[in-house]
Amino acid sequence: MSNYHLNDSVQCPSILFRLNGGLYCADSRYISTIMELPEYTSLPDTPPYISGIFPLRGGSVTMFDLRAALRLQSMTDEFKDFTAMLDARKQDHINWVTALQHSIETGEHFPLATDPHKCKLGKWYDSFKTNSSELSAHLARMEEPHRKLHEAAIRAEHCNEADNRDDISNCKKAVFDEARNEYMPKILDVLENAKEIFRAREFHEMVLVLSGETSLGIVVDEVLSVETVEDEVLGTESQLMSYSPYIQRIVKSPGCSELILEIDIPAVIRAGEDAAAQRNAAGSNG
């Protein structure tokens, strides 16, 4: 059994990190190394929160997957949901162009959004936040063609103001051709390429390797900074403990406006030791 004897009278900073969009921290006194997640080997006969093992400095580190331990969505499932959402938004705009064509050909009222901020893609984009400047810059390339695509329905309506039927038809054809052949392909291209950028920039897992004899590493989404934290009094300590045994309190930091959930490292260590004992027992019985 691993034991820590920390001097609680000494104020030490905490490691702040992201996990499934939330902000968490861990006492830096428990952490010996912060590193990007290397290639690893999966472990059989272990709980879901023990995701694998990798070599480090002549030894090995067992990976404690904090997402799984906190029963959060896995990174794989989050990426699948993100790509499925982008595929749905691509199909929305293919359908939008088809509806525009039908409206032009039949003279029926165009029923879909003409405001780029009111379609599902526009609403998502307006609310989407990311720490990746590359992903932000990439998605920004979609703004102009997306705006012009939606404006095409209004422009097609204005074509009815032309002097004769041929001018109206030619005007609408020109508007539709721009929408289908210029604006829509640019939107679809941005959304498709956003998948790989999102995967590469948002999903770069890191490991907080614990000090001592535990040989345990906590897998997190992204390490952000080292901050001094203090208690945030919200009267929710009992609720937190019922939510997860791995969260010990809510804290705040002068350098951050968000509330932070502090991880109970001793509880993580105990869970890791229990998992190792279960695996050893399964191996001996096998």
pLDDT tens profile 86-108: 999 999 999 999 999 999 999 99
- How far are the Cα atoms of 9, 85, 123, 221 from residue 24, in angstroms, in the given order? 22, 27, 28, 10
- Residue 1 — pLDDT band, cuts 50, 70, 90? very low
The predicted-structure confidence for 40-63, as pLDDT tens digits, reads as follows: 999 888 889 998 999 998 899 999
Measured N-to-C along each axis, helices 120-127 and 143-158 cross at an angle, to the nearest 10 degrees, of 150
Is residue 6 scored above 60 in pLDDT? no
According to CATH, what is the number of the domain 77-202? 1.20.120.30
Q: Amino acid letter at 277?
A: A
Domain spans of the chain?
14-72+205-285, 77-202
Burial 164-178 (b: 16+ CB within 10 A, else e): eeeebeebbeebbeb
26 vs 6: CA distance, rounded Å:
14
Give the range among 132-146, 153-167, 229-243 with minimum mean pLDDT.
229-243
- Residues counted in the chain: 286
Neighbours of 264 (CB within 10 A): 19
pLDDT digits (tens, 9 = 90+) for 248-261: 888 888 878 888 99
Rounded Cα distance between 184 and 141, Å, is 13
Alpha carbon distance 270, 212 (integer Å): 13
Report the CATH superfamily, name and number, of domain 14-72+205-285: CheA-289, Domain 4 (2.40.50.180)
Q: In what order do the strands lie in the sheet with 31-36?
A: 31-36, 206-210, 216-220, 59-65, 50-56
* CB proximity list for 205: less than 8 A, separation 6 or greater: 36, 37, 75, 219, 220, 221, 222
Of the segments 1-10, 142-151, 192-201, which one has the largest average pLDDT value?
142-151
Dist. CA 175–CA 149, nearest whole Å: 9
Residue 283, pLDDT > 90, answer: no
CA nearest 219: which of 35, 8, 6? 35
Least confident of 13-27, 116-130, 239-253, 260-274: 239-253
> How far apart (Å, rounded) are the C-alpha atoms in residues 228 and 242?
26
Torsion angle in degrees (nearest 10) through CA of 277, 282, 284, 286: -170
| pLDDT exceeds cutoff 70 at 156 | yes
Six token digits for residue 275: 């998992």
Nearest-angstrom CA–CA distance, 143 and 121? 11
Give every CB contact of residue 187 below 8 A, 6+ residues apart in sequence: 90, 93, 121, 142, 145, 146, 149
Backbone angles phi, psi at 20, to 5 degrees: 55, 40
Residue 184 phi/psi, 5-degree rounding, is: -60, -45
Give the Cα-Cα-Cα angle 242, 248, 214 (nearest 5 degrees): 110
Between 160 and 244, the more confident residue is 160
Task: Please give the pLDDT value at position 284.
Answer: 59
CA dihedral 95, 99, 101, 106 (to 10 degrees): 160
pLDDT at 275: 83
